[in-house]
Amino acid sequence: MAIGDQAERLRTIISDLRLQRDERPNNRIITITSGKGGVGKTNITINLAICLAKRGFRIIILDADFGLSNVDVMLGTVSKYSFVDLLKSDRQLEDILSVGPLGVRFVSGGSGAIELLNMDERQLDGIIDKMAPLDKMADIILVDTGAGITPSVLRFMQASDEVILVVTPEPASLTDAYALVKSSVGLVEQSKMHVIFNRVADMREAKDTEDRFLTTVERFLGVRMNSLGFVNHDNAVLKAVKKQQPFILEYPQCKAAEQIRAIADALLGTNRAYGIERGYNGIRGFLSRLLKGA
């Protein structure tokens, strides 16, 4: 496809999404997770969020890595309040929202937020009411979960409109990612499962890892996952992390930044399957599925 055609197609996709935003308050809720820690999941989440914001979308990150929240740390900020304050005080949604680069807003999970999965019906209804304004505040909500196969991660995957699994070529990452997909069978619709391959050495390793992983999960689990692309192991990423800055802003011309932009395009390109033909349920639907069971 020619560059001009690609640009026109992207403009059409964005126009369609904005039309949806005007017609109803529902937003697209995407959980980003991994089979193990240390694969760059939060870094992918932050840079993807900024890339989407650059394309005109209103983005909010929910840091759902309870007990090890680090979205704010990676952005070089300190959140005054966290999700815990929404649970245990009279704080409102506006109080706990922090603002990052390009207007990307985020909610820090905070230690103790895992309690929300064990609240009674009245408390759950109260939290859902407090979070309901997100429907009118964001076009896309990215949920950055903890790593591994835990009940909370599986519930976030089940409740979301879509899931992005971050995997690296390391054997442990591939094995744990496979185990997570296996645990999600019957809970998560395979049609909403995406994967990103991070920290690949080169195109050859990227394609080899992609082919082996996708073939394995389809052959043995019957799950057909959609690959959104890959991100190279890039020294610019490491430098940006040390500076507590998103690499897509600190080093916009680096290879990893270019690849994140391609991944954002691929994610937006799935909208015709996920957004127009099958509407979203918004934050109320997400929270009801998450907190009260799908």
For 25-292, which CATH class? alpha beta
**What size, in residues, is the chain?**
294
Which two tokens mark 234?
Answer: 């890039």
Closest CA relative to residue 32, chosen from 19, 23, 42: 42
Q: What residue has token string 């080899």?
A: 208
Look at the block and give the residue holding tokens 């706990």. Answer: 96
Give the chain's largest Cα–Cα span.
55
Taking CA 235 as the corner, what is the angle to CA 230 and CA 236, rounded to the nearest 5 degrees? 85
**Which has more confidence, 116 or 248?**
248
Token reading at 241: 């992390």
Q: Considering only 73-87, 188-202, 207-221, 226-240, which range has the smallest mean pLDDT?
A: 73-87
Q: Which comes out higher in pLDDT, residue 87 or 9?
A: 87
The C-alpha angle with vertex 74 and arms to 181 and 265, in degrees rounded to 5, equals 55
SS3 at position 139: coil
Query: Taking the C-alpha atoms of 60, 135, 125 and 294 in order, what is their torsion angle to the nearest 10 degrees?
Result: -80
Residue 275: predicted pLDDT: 45
Q: Which two tokens stand for residue 63?
A: 């840091």
Q: Are 218 and 227 in contact (CB under 8 A)?
A: no
Query: What mean pLDDT do residues 6-24 have?
Result: 56
The model carries a pTM of 0.87
What confidence tens digit (pLDDT) does each residue in 58-73 have? 999 998 876 566 788 8
pLDDT (tens digit per residue) in 249-292: 999 999 999 999 999 999 998 765 444 445 667 888 888 888 76
* Token duo for residue 213: 């992983």
